[in-house]
Structure 1
């Protein structure tokens, strides 16, 4: 206490006398540019930044030199080399996210420098005309837990045994050896999150990951094979050959999983029960197609602990056409368990009979339902359809707490 009082009474700054680990945490919270600038505060601060375990190079240089992009590229390259040259101690996290990085030679030099560290978190977001082939020393980052790559060629050497500690893998526009990717995933036993966006086309995507909780795939594939994924809770699947719709789904956006599943032979139940699935989002479901209704029921019936269900109806369907299928023809759904379902959101309803039967069924069988939210697609809702939707508020409800919200 005497020392603290002495510092305060002499009008010196308190921050400089904090414990070194506290100062380090403060510097980590600053942009790297500002952390380096603390070196001019005083002689005591001159070298405090050089031991930072996290180095993040993002777009701040481009923002500062927006009027002169050529200067931004030069300053970025020079800054990175100077920071790496003066840095002392371990580097645990390295982030390079800047569209001005174009030199493959520089990237390889930075990775070579980092290979002497036990990197835990590595991000390389670059925008190049040709994907950058990662150098062999990149695969020596055996302590990696978080990896994000953009516009790279990921082809490990034959001696590579995988990243045994990897928890999260995010690949965007990455060239892969599709036929060997499944074996790579199986060599990452701790993997919990896997994102593959507009990467190499897959003939068959095989996933063997006992700790996987989230899978987000956008791209081209013919088949997908799940093996040993007991903890999988979130799946975002979109099929396409461009990155146009590969952004993370926002409110009102969904993947086309149902249409993908409806192409093959539709099962009443999935081969495995999705015991950990609590939230299910099905997009572009056409209730005038029996296969798509059956697929939706298949997922619902295979998810006994489902708590939240959101269904977005395919607005391209002609709601004025007389439905060719009844909801009851799609599946025998009498034995489905809905005793955990609490929230249902139905978007872009047109009022066709299969839609209404589906809503009736959910209301009558969801014993703990709290909210049924119905949003009509106003351009497709006829006078009769609107009247039927309004009548839903009078339908029997298995849950005394269930409320119907008509938007």
Structure 2
């Protein structure tokens, strides 16, 4: 029995010494699949194992940067020869590829005007096979290319989870129902109508994220309630858009950049970012959003327009983070605007923990508190019990801004930190710019006045429990002025 046990152990040991060779092949193939396209091709030239693996490489990313040597690409970025070489290399790779195992195809073409549409069609038909999960066709400045929807029919694209298209025409037809696994859809500068997009969305029941950028044919965006998994909607600069209506029951993040639109997004939204042009978005948010999105937790707004905020009955009972960015591209922010009216917004947010107010302008036309001998306005009886962190960027000597700051110090009983930044982000030369331009000198002088205001009106109001951070102009600004 002892001899039999010894013989069995030796046989077992020999067996395990031989077996690892099979999984080792699989391990090396897996490692090869993780390499970039260029590195995987190089490895295939020196190894039979990698050569076999190369024919099934799962990640095909084609662009000048990924195919060509970096120095050569920079030198010949706009060369016609570089474009013809790109076409030849992509064709050779795709024709040598088995067509099996492709998980991701990314085609990024800069000078698409020099590449025939038939090339793009051939490449897509060669690479888009059953099992593909990610498809990105990123063209630049050519909106005449018609994306061939036929490659997504007959069940070929049932496994696509991520679809990104840019600068092309995309016309999903009626009955289009093949993207059942799609979780992320991103369209940038794509010609597609609202009805065509609706047709696509109606069958994409697994969709979780929808991003639309510069899609100017869409006038009405309607999202059906069937999209139970949709959690994020991003709409940016779709210039003819008039209406956004979402019935997706679990949409939690909504981001919008553009002009005035009619919005209806459901009551499950927790985070909203709106950057609006020609739209008094701060006033709109205060008046409309408490009823529309009662569970809102984060609100981020950017606007160049503003009017005083009245006290209204609706409240943001769950809002914890509020960011308000006032930006003007030239000149000064409206001198009639009363920053002190933002107390109305604070009063509507009993759970608010962080507040950021940022004002970007090239000059200040508000009345300065330094030239006004009257007393600062007060608003007694308003206790902001949850605010812990307040940051004001572009803090200036405007009397109404000083009144707002003093009000917060006197009524935010939980306040832990107050940051007053006297220079807005885009004027700070220590952040990477070569130096403050002459046109910004008036704001540097205003920052100096703001420092005087802090010493004269703010310091004495700061409780011992509050950390005050005052950000001054950088040393390069001082050097320029001197």
TM-score after normalising by structure 1: 0.75
Cα deviation for residue 158 of structure 1 reads 1.3
Would you say 1:392 and 2:392 are equivalent positions?
Answer: no
Work out the CA distance in 2 between the residues paired with 1:230 and 1:262: 24
Change (3 A) 1:387 1:33: same
Would you say 1:31 and 2:36 are equivalent positions?
Answer: yes
Would you say 1:47 and 2:52 are equivalent positions?
Answer: yes
Work out the CA distance in 1 between the residues paired with 2:213 and 2:159: 24
1:113 is aligned, of 126, 139, 147, to 126
Residue segments in structure 1 that go unaligned for 5+ positions in a row: 8-13, 241-253
Cα deviation for residue 277 of structure 1 reads 3.8
Would you say 1:200 and 2:236 are equivalent positions?
Answer: no
Would you say 1:290 and 2:307 are equivalent positions?
Answer: yes
Please give the residue correspondences for 1:121-136 in structure 2 after superposition, counting only pairs within 5 Å. Answer: 121-136=134-149
Cα deviation for residue 370 of structure 1 reads 4.6
Change (3 A) 1:134 1:62: same
1:233 is aligned, of 228, 249, 253, to 253
Change (3 A) 1:72 1:222: same
Work out the CA distance in 2 between the residues paired with 1:206 and 1:366: 41
Work out the CA distance in 1 between the residues paired with 2:86 and 2:108: 11
Cα deviation for residue 105 of structure 1 reads 0.5
Work out the CA distance in 1 between the residues paired with 2:207 and 2:459: 45
Residue segments in structure 2 that go unaligned for 5+ positions in a row: 1-11, 261-272, 355-387, 424-442, 472-482
Work out the CA distance in 2 between the residues paired with 1:381 and 1:261: 26
Change (3 A) 1:344 1:284: farther
SS in 1 for 2:332: coil
Q: Does the 8 A contact of 2:168 with 2:189 survive in 1? A: yes
1:96 is aligned, of 103, 107, 118, to 107
Work out the CA distance in 2 between the residues paired with 1:303 and 1:160: 42
Cα deviation for residue 98 of structure 1 reads 2.6
Q: Does the 8 A contact of 1:258 with 1:282 survive in 2? A: no
Q: Does the 8 A contact of 1:161 with 1:187 survive in 2? A: yes
Would you say 1:222 and 2:222 are equivalent positions?
Answer: no
Change (3 A) 1:43 1:222: closer
Work out the CA distance in 1 between the residues paired with 2:304 and 2:351: 20
SS in 1 for 2:279: helix
2:363 maps to which residue?
A: none
Change (3 A) 1:129 1:369: same
2:470 maps to which residue?
A: 406
Change (3 A) 1:256 1:52: same
Change (3 A) 1:228 1:45: closer
Q: Deviations over 1:198-222 (max 9, x none)?
A: 1224333334454222524223123
Q: Deviations over 1:90-147 (max 9, x none)?
A: 2111111131442211111122223432221111111253431111323332322111
Change (3 A) 1:183 1:212: farther
SS in 1 for 2:197: helix
2:300 maps to which residue?
A: 281
Work out the CA distance in 2 between the residues paired with 1:92 and 1:238: 35
Q: Does the 8 A contact of 1:215 with 1:234 survive in 2? A: yes
Change (3 A) 1:86 1:223: same
Work out the CA distance in 1 between the residues paired with 2:352 and 2:343: 21
Q: Does the 8 A contact of 2:462 with 2:468 survive in 1? A: no
1:73 maps to which residue?
A: 83
SS in 2 for 1:52: coil
Structure 1 window deviating more from structure 2 (34-43 vs 368-377): it is 368-377
Work out the CA distance in 1 between the residues paired with 2:206 and 2:390: 33
Q: Deviations over 1:348-371 (max 9, x none)?
A: 233324434444555566566554
Work out the CA distance in 1 between the residues paired with 2:218 and 2:408: 37
Work out the CA distance in 2 between the residues paired with 1:344 and 1:25: 50
Change (3 A) 1:263 1:312: closer
2:478 maps to which residue?
A: none
TM-score after normalising by structure 2: 0.65
Work out the CA distance in 1 between the residues paired with 2:337 and 2:167: 46
Q: Deviations over 1:323-381 (max 9, x none)?
A: 35463488475342234435444322333244344445555665665543332243573
Change (3 A) 1:92 1:43: closer
1:61 maps to which residue?
A: 67
Larger radius of gyration: 2
Aligned length: 376
Cα deviation for residue 174 of structure 1 reads 0.7
Q: Does the 8 A contact of 1:90 with 1:118 survive in 2? A: yes
SS in 1 for 2:258: strand
SS in 1 for 2:458: helix
Work out the CA distance in 2 between the residues paired with 1:255 and 1:265: 11
1:318 is aligned, of 320, 325, 332, to 332
Q: Does the 8 A contact of 1:338 with 1:365 survive in 2? A: no
Work out the CA distance in 2 between the residues paired with 1:21 and 1:362: 63
